[in-house]
């Protein structure tokens, strides 16, 4: 359990500014993570080697971000049976719709849990990984519930300030 971690993969270092939101959420939950730049197209052998190795070292969840013809999450899902969360990145003239469809349209039997395009999706990838790790882990489940309650309280406080 203590070696359990989340692997955050991205197709290019140009995805890092958006994926910083994922890393911030994982940090806020004190979840151990690794960051790896690796591409389904440019470095397929390195991607395969990393995923196989990470799984053997205790990676519980893979988060994969890519833009354009975003096949990284799908390629990783084909290698591991651990949960794979895909983050479509807006990296080109199609504003991330290309990446969304490439990420989400997986054939049956090889699922990718795709989140939204861009920064909201990057943030939610971190939350979704925390919720996955919270299954069977009461300490993490308490952190997730506390964060959700704090978020709700901040929205209510903003509304109250507006009404005052």
Tokens of 44: 């397929």
Residue 96 interacts with ligand RP5 (CB under 6 A)? no
d(C-alpha 85, C-alpha 147), whole Å: 20
Nearer to ligand RP5 by C-beta: 61 or 70?
Answer: 70
Stretch that binds ligand RP5, among 22-30, 60-68, 106-114, 117-125 (CB under 6 A): 60-68
Q: Where are the beta strands (DSSP E) in the chain?
A: 5-10, 33-37, 59-67, 84-89, 113-114
Binding residues for substrate: 12, 15, 42
Residue 12 interacts with ligand RP5 (CB under 6 A)? yes
d(C-alpha 1, C-alpha 158), whole Å: 39
Nearest CA to 65 out of 100, 94, 30 is that of 100
Q: What are phi and psi of 10, to 5 degrees?
A: -140, 145
Q: Minimum CB separation from ligand RP5 for residue 13, in Å?
A: 7
Long-range contacts of 121-124 (CB under 8 A, 24+ apart): 121/87, 121/88, 122/18, 122/19, 122/20, 122/21, 122/22, 122/65, 122/87, 123/21, 123/22, 123/24, 123/25
Q: Minimum CB separation from ligand RP5 for residue 11, in Å?
A: 2
Residue 4 interacts with ligand RP5 (CB under 6 A)? no
Residue 119 interacts with ligand RP5 (CB under 6 A)? no
Nearer to ligand RP5 by C-beta: 29 or 121?
Answer: 121
Residue 66 interacts with ligand RP5 (CB under 6 A)? yes
Q: Which of 21, 89, 100, 117 binds ligand RP5 (CB under 6 A)?
A: 89
Q: Which of 19, 47, 61, 67 binds ligand RP5 (CB under 6 A)?
A: 67
Residue 105 interacts with ligand RP5 (CB under 6 A)? no
End-to-end CA distance of the chain: 48
Judged by the rule CB under 6 A, the positions of this chain that interact with ligand RP5 are 10-12, 14-15, 39, 66-68, 89, 91
């Amino acid at each position: 359990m203590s070696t359990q971690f989340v692997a955050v993969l991205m197709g290019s270092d140009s995805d890092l500014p958006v994926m910083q939101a994922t890393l911030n959420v994982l940090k806020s939950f004190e979840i151990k993570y690794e960051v790896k730049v690796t591409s389904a197209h440019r470095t397929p052998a390195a991607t395969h080697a990393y995923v196989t190795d990470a799984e053997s070292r205790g990676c519980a969840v893979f988060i994969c971000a890519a833009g354009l013809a975003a096949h990284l999450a799908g390629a990783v899902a084909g290698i591991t049976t651990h949960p794979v969360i895909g983050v479509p990145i807006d990296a080109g003239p199609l504003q991330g719709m290309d990446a969304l469809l490439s990420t989400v349209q997986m054939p049956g039997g090889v699922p990718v849990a795709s989140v939204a395009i861009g920064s909201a999706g990057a943030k939610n990838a971190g939350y979704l990984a925390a919720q996955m790790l919270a299954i069977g882990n009461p300490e993490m489940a308490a952190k997730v519930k506390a964060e959700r309650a704090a978020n709700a309280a901040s929205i209510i406080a903003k509304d109250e300030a507006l009404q005052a």
